[in-house]
Structure 1
């Protein structure tokens, strides 16, 4: 009898606790993380986007580069006598537009000829021939995190939402609808628009080079919302993919300048003109 009385007492206490929790406006069975995702009215969620940006103020050299034809160790790298600290860099072959991301080291020995020494792996990626100097641009890279607002993440109070409009429904005769669809004339074929061509040597604006595809896609979508024609190009170097985001092509120098202004105003201050 005493055991039954104790059991009933405990059940009564639990029921009172549950009722008290409901009166306070909280659900005692709710997960704790539910309160963590609540946002104040009008709050906009942001997501951190990591991207590579060029940092010419850290290091940049545009001069002849040379691969001596011998195999080298260490993967993709270049060496230059003015380097103070090893850097992560983007290396461009200006003669064919190829590029590769690799390491930059200090060149200890100074030999006759070009000051930029190119490793065998870098030369292969850049399309360089042994013993043939080419114009090389080496620019330091830095990682940058930018808060990109999410377009559909604005939270609106429920009381501000408009009531759904009434929709008038009408039953359709399936046989009559099918006959109307058969008798309807076929729409005229719309010719595909001719691809645009530009006379500019560098009609595109490069937004950035990304090592994460999702970041490149989000940046491209941000550019499209500005009304800019945007492409995401993929390059694979040494089995490692990279994604470039470019805008264009511009049909005139004026249009290209306006595009650069829009892109930089959106926060991509390191954007610049490229061939493609």
Structure 2
């Protein structure tokens, strides 16, 4: 009985509030000559990432050689002057072809050109086995740029002198039952809480990159191999000036320890040149 009385009291209060709110409405067309709301074109900006060449980080132009043997790791080159792995653009100056790949330090000092080219990179650049070619290797860096993005903005536009606002067309109205509306509001189910945001990694480079491939089938086979050992690979497709390539990464790792475990598993599968990347 007490619960019914409380409910009726709440319904009565809600109904009175609703009626009072209806009485306090103001007609926006009652004052002649005031500004009217107009839609104006505004701009915001969004952040766009792109690769830019960074010759100050690393750049060499010299003879490169593919020895004719198949090599693991996808598209890459190796040079003895490298201090740490880099993402690079590799150009064949003789035919103008290029490809995005990885740059590693060359440990072995063999006779011939210092720049070693992988089999996948050679295929993308049109190199013949055992035939040195003029190669330029330049480091790449991710750069964020602000790109304008149009959006609708509400602004007060002043009216021209002597202009009038046309009266609105007739609108059909219906009588509102305040008691029924208040009961519906009270009996409505509580809103469902939003799902929690996904966890974020605690490290700046949570992914491990296995290689960059010029043939999608090779990238897909590498990803399947990682799934069979319990890892979560991703294949990212990119294109520059009509040249398409595929990067295979594993992750993201939530901690440095988890990333080290992923790196150890990847290297055990034969990808000795794998390294950590941002994405």
Give the TM-score taking structure 1 as reference length.
0.50
Higher-Rg member (1/2) = 2
Give the TM-score taking structure 2 as reference length.
0.49
